[in-house]
A and B are shown apart, each in its own frame.
Chain A
Amino acid sequence: MLELDGLSKKFKQFYAVKSLNMFVERGEIIGLLGPNGAGKSTAISMISSLAEPTAGDVRYNNKSILKKPGEFRKIVGMVPQEIALYTDLTAEENLQFFGRMYRLKGSILKKRIQEILDLVGLADRKKDVVQTFSGGMKRRLNIGVALLHDPELLIMDEPTVGIDPQSRNYILETVKRLNKERAMTVIYTSHYMEEVEFLCDRIYIMDQGNLIASGTNEEIKRILSSEKTISIKSDQLNEQFIAMLQEHPLVNRVMSTDKEITLMVAKEVSMFGDLTKLAETAGIELTSVHNKTPTLEDVFLHLTGRALRD
Chain B
Amino acid sequence: MIGILLTKIRMFIRNPWTFIIFTVMSIGFALIIGGNGAATTISVPIYAEDNSVKGSTLEKVLKEDEAFRFNWLKEEEEMLEQIENGKAEVGVILRDTSYQLIVGVDSPNATMIEQAIQRAYRAHNLETALLEVSATNAEEERVSVLEAFDKSMNIPAFEMETTSFRSEDAVIYDNTFQTLFGFTLFFVIYTIAYKLQPILVEKRDGIWDRMILSPVRKWEVYVANLVYSFIEGYVQIVIIFCIFRFWIGVDFHGKFLEALLLITPYIFSIVALSILFTAIVKNVQQFNAIIPIIAVSMAMIGGAYWPLEIVESKILITISKINPLTYGMEILNGVVLYGYTLEDLLFPISILVLMGVVMTGLGIHLMERRHV
Contacts and interface: CB of A to CB of B under 8 A. Distances in A.
Interface of A: 48-52, 73-74, 76, 78, 80-86, 88-89, 93, 97-98, 100-103, 145-146, 149
Contacts of B216: 101
Nearest to A101: B214
Given A74-B215, A97-B3, A101-B215, A84 B11 contact: no
Main secondary structure of the interface of A (DSSP, over half): loop
B212 interface: yes
B10 interface: yes
B205 A84 contact: yes
Contact of A78 (B205, B210, B372): B210
Identify the interface centre among B15, B204, B207: most chain A CB within 10 Å of its CB. B207
Contacts of A48: 209, 213
B205 A83 contact: yes
Contacts of A84: 205-207, 209-210
B7 A93 contact: yes
B211 interface: yes
Interface in B249-287: none
Contacts, number: 64
Contacts of B4: 97
Interface string B202-230: 00111101111111100000000000000
Q: Which 5 A-B pairs have the closest CB atoms?
A: A100-B3, A80-B206, A84-B206, A101-B214, A82-B206
A86 B207 contact: yes
Contact of A80 (B10, B14, B209): B209
A55 B95 CA distance: 100
Contacts of B372: 49-52
A249 B312 CA distance: 84
Contact of B213 (A51, A78, A86, A89): A78
23 contacts: A48-B209, A49-B213, A50-B209, A50-B212, A50-B213, A51-B372, A52-B372, A73-B213, A76-B213, A82-B204, A84-B210, A85-B205, A86-B11, A86-B207, A88-B11, A88-B14, A93-B7, A100-B3, A101-B3, A101-B211, A101-B215, A145-B210, A146-B210
Contacts of A74: 215
Contacts of A103: 215
Contact of A86 (B3, B7, B204): B7
Contacts of A76: 213
Nearest to A148: B214
Contact of B205 (A52, A82, A98): A82
A81 B206 contact: yes
A89 B10 contact: yes
A88 B12 CA distance: 10
Contacts of B11: 86, 88-89
Contacts of A88: 11, 14-15
A48 B210 CA distance: 11
B100 to A, nearest CB: 69
A81 B205 CA distance: 9
A81 B216 CA distance: 22
A78 B206 CA distance: 10
A149 B213 CA distance: 11
A50 B213 CA distance: 8
Contacts of B215: 73-74, 101-103
Nearest to B371: A50
B41 to A, nearest CB: 49
Interface in B321-372: 372
A102 B3 CA distance: 10
